[in-house]
Amino acid sequence: MTVRRSMFLAAMFVLACVTLVTIQAQTPAAGGQAPAGGGRGGGGAAPAVMTPGNMITGAWGAATLPVPPQGWGWQSKKYVSAGHKGPFWSRAKEMLFSGKQVTSVTISRLDPTQYCEARKHWAYIWFEMQHSTMSWNDVAQMLQACPGPNGGTPMIRMPDQFESSIQKATDLGAMGLIFPTMRDGNQALDAARYSRFPPFGRRSSGSGQAGTIWAGLPDNQQYQASYNDNMLVVVMIETLDGMINIDEISSTFGLDVVIQGNNDLSRFSGWAQADPRYQALLNISRNSALMAGKWWGNAGSQYLTGNPLSADTRFVQNGPSFDGFEFPARGRGGRGVTQEEPAIGVPGGLQSQVPGAAAPSRGR
């Protein structure tokens, strides 16, 4: 029923847009005159220049909902076991629970030196396995190079949400999974349930290196016993059908964070990130994540400042380190870090283009 409902809603959305464009195209432009004759062969004045169709108002221009007293992530906070003590040994999760913005470094190739250095300065490491040829073994080698909880949380952007892929990612020691291109609740459910151990989820107990990577946890915690509490599950909304199904995705039990894949959402919607309609999509997603008790963010770190929703952007790809450290700029043959989700279609910078946006700040 969920798949049929999603297909029906998507079809209705497209039909509504086409209908609006058709109606608009048949309406004379302001100040123009309707063609004489009322049909083919009619004489008189030439048809007026038609204006393009406009998206319906209503939800698309809705104001953002106020943050409730329990704050962001109230549902995710309920996932934590009653016996949990002290801070999380996952730095990214501890920072989220402390109300801080969480940033990362993106690694797309085997580079243990970069990984170990990045762990000192960022909340988490974004291992890119959707848009790279990096292998599971490459990621495993980097986690082996500097194991333990004293550093940024290793997280993987997954190639898919299949159980077999999730098993490999968690068995090698990842403590966060980022699932791209979520289109409906069925995909989100698979992403969530295979990412944690029973009885919370359905992750199988494997014999990978994860237990060794996370040996020596604080307060004598055991990896498997404390894994569920420290795990982070992130989904990315990148298409209009994902936005249509945003409520069923956001409310999926077991998800922690909802973010936008800003490049793809811009491409799939056809709206530049400076377009008010694109900003309205962010409003819808933000409100949905808030009501579902999850955290919200964007892949593009340009949303950390200067956007009407910057204060609500808690999780991004890349972004500044928490201690001011910077890798050298990437050059040919260099190791530096690039912005993986630039603002496509926003000449001159996002902050100067979005209506109502404040001037960009220099700091966090």
pLDDT of residue 331: 52
Cβ contacts of 38 within 8 Å, gap of 6 or more: none
Report how many domains make up the chain.
1
* 67 within a domain of the structure (yes/no): no
Residue 104 belongs to domain with CATH number: 3.20.20.60
| 20, part of any domain | no
pLDDT confidence of residue 220: 85
**Neighbour-count burial of 205, counting CB atoms closer than 10 A to its CB (0-12 exposed, 13-18 middle, 19+ buried):** exposed
Sheet containing 153-157: give its strands across. Answer: 104-107, 124-128, 153-157, 176-179, 232-237, 257-260, 295-298, 315-316
Q: Which two tokens stand for residue 220?
A: 């004598």
Which residue ranges of the chain lie beneath pLDDT 70? 1-62, 330-364
pLDDT given for residue 28 in this prediction: 37
**pLDDT score, position 364:** 30
Is 36 within the bounds of a domain?
no
237 in a structural domain: yes
**What is the residue range of 114's domain?**
80-316
pTM: 0.79
Note whether residue 272 is domain-resident: yes
- The whole-number pLDDT of residue 158 equals 98
Residue 24 lies inside a defined structural domain of this protein? no
Q: What is the pLDDT of residue 3?
A: 46
Residue 35 lies in a domain: no
In a domain, 258, yes or no: yes
Residue 207, pLDDT score = 81
Separation CA 177–CA 130 (nearest Å): 12
